[in-house]
Amino acid sequence: MQFDGPSALLSANADGAPFGALTSVSIDEDGYITALFDNGIQRKVFKLPIASFANPDGLLARPGNGDQAPRRELLETVLFESGRPLIMSPPVAPSRIGSNIVIAWNGSTETARAISFAMPLLKAADRVLVVTVEGGMVEGPSGAELRSALLLAGITAESRHAEAGNQPTGKVILDLCQREGADLLIKGAYTNSRLRQLIFGGATDHILVSATLPVFFAH
């Protein structure tokens, strides 16, 4: 057993190894998230669904783009039917992932679930930024309240509110990620229904089509 914070136990070791603090996490090609502790122990703590595509760009294709459309459908199927999160890869593989994380917070249960799934990544990140966007919130905790909750979990985070102006919420989020040098975006997928987003557009829809960084989604 490993602990990511101080333990009240008096024993000096567990399973034959000293207690250790979480120092980093990694994701392998099979979707396993492996935690590395400062006592040298490595443990697989989570497995993400991984999908392979003959044309990886299909993940980012707009709905209805001929033979690219089924890729979008498969991604949505994983989100809605697997009960698990997924990481959507950008067209160009990043040099790093998870050191500078942006949370696109809108107060929703979907985003709260995504954050819960992503806790091992958040605890190992060098920087975490909670972003809320004007007009993009539903009824729920504020960005400042989420920041406080993360602090109680041992995660130091910043919080920022972005003005949207006439820009779509999804574009505001992605532009901010680019300015901040983020290497992972965490977002709840489809707070609004898929049909509503198909007709009127939405943040999830924009990010699915336009993201140039890895996105950790959960519904």
Summarised one tens digit per residue, pLDDT across range 125-138 is: 999 999 999 988 88
Here the tokens at position 51 are 């999908």
Residues of the chain with pLDDT under 50: 1-13, 53-66, 68-70, 193-201
Single-letter code of the amino acid located at 107: G
Summarised one tens digit per residue, pLDDT across range 61-70 is: 333 344 544 4
Q: How far apart are CA 147 and CA 41, in angstroms?
A: 30
- How many Cα atoms occupy the beta-carbon half-sphere of 60 within 13 Å? 16
Domains observed in the chain = 13-47 (no CATH), 56-218 (3.40.50.620)
